[in-house]
Chains A and B, each alone.
Chain A
Amino acid sequence: MRIELRESPFNPWNEIEDYQQSLAINGSYGATATFVGTMRDFNEGDSVKAMTLEHYPGMTEKHLQKITNAAIQKWQLLDALILHRVGEIKPDDSIVLVAVWSAHRAQAFDACRHIMEELKSTAPFWKKEVLEDGSRWVGKNTPG
């Protein structure tokens, strides 16, 4: 399992490939499910120029570990990779990557969705959007 916060842009597909090549689980996994969240250039009818992602250093990592460990136990995952951007972000940048490896597809689909939803609703990150004429905190996440 790897959980990382990144201050600079990352390519999620390269990250998945590199991480998968480092795993010693070849032959045992039959399913890989991934989710990539990407920054949009609009929100609530406004054009968004950039975003700052604040987090709670220490608690963020600890909480992501907890969520991921629980999912590994529940769905018998073989491995998991979670990357999340922090700091200054531009439209089209990847914000989050969740990738999980399991023996069968149902475990991978369910675990990937669960980790993502838990991350969205409980991991201590906060988005502040830069608009044409100022900035604003995002009050809540979209329902899904």
Chain B
Amino acid sequence: MSVQVKFFASLRESIGKTEVIVDNANSVAQAWSIATNGADMPSNTLCAINMEYVDSQHSVNDHDEVAFFPPVTGG
């Protein structure tokens, strides 16, 4: 099972990755951990699966797109 992990904005820069494929993650938090080699997730990190907001404990399915990003600042 694999998921596509994406990072945006300041997280993309601090993690140093834009996209990575992660195998054998059961949850969003696990996908983060594998994709970042065990980095701590900043407490204000927002998570999405297939472009919908979820919390970090949400389960993931094969081929999901999992995204991590900082608080949004548009408008």
A contact residues vs B (CB 8 Å cutoff) = 37, 53-56, 58-59, 62-63, 84, 95-96, 116, 119-128, 137-141
Residues of chain B within 8 A of A54, CB atoms compared: 8-9
- The answer on a CB contact under 8 Å between B74 and A125 is yes
Any A CB within 8 A of the CB of B16: no
- The answer on a CB contact under 8 Å between A125 and B73 is yes
Residues of chain B within 8 A of A124, CB atoms compared: 8, 46, 48, 69, 72, 74
Interface code B1-37, partner A: CB below 8 Å = 1, 0 otherwise?
Answer: 0000010111000000000000000000000000000
Any A CB within 8 A of the CB of B39: no
B contact residues vs A (CB 8 Å cutoff) = 6, 8-10, 46, 48, 51, 53, 67, 69-75
- B7 to nearest A CB, angstroms? 10
Knowing A137-B9, A137-B10 are in contact, say whether A125-B51 is a contact too (CB < 8 A): no
Q: Which of B10, B48, B67, B72 contacts A121 (CB 8 A)?
A: B72
Residues of chain B within 8 A of A139, CB atoms compared: 70-71, 73
- B70 to nearest A CB, angstroms? 7
CA distance A139 to B8 in the complex (A): 13
- B8 to nearest A CB, angstroms? 6
Residues of chain A within 8 A of B67, CB atoms compared: 56, 59
- A121 to nearest B CB, angstroms? 7
CA distance A4 to B70 in the complex (A): 23
CA distance A140 to B10 in the complex (A): 12
Q: Which of A62, A121, A141 contacts B51 (CB 8 A)?
A: A62
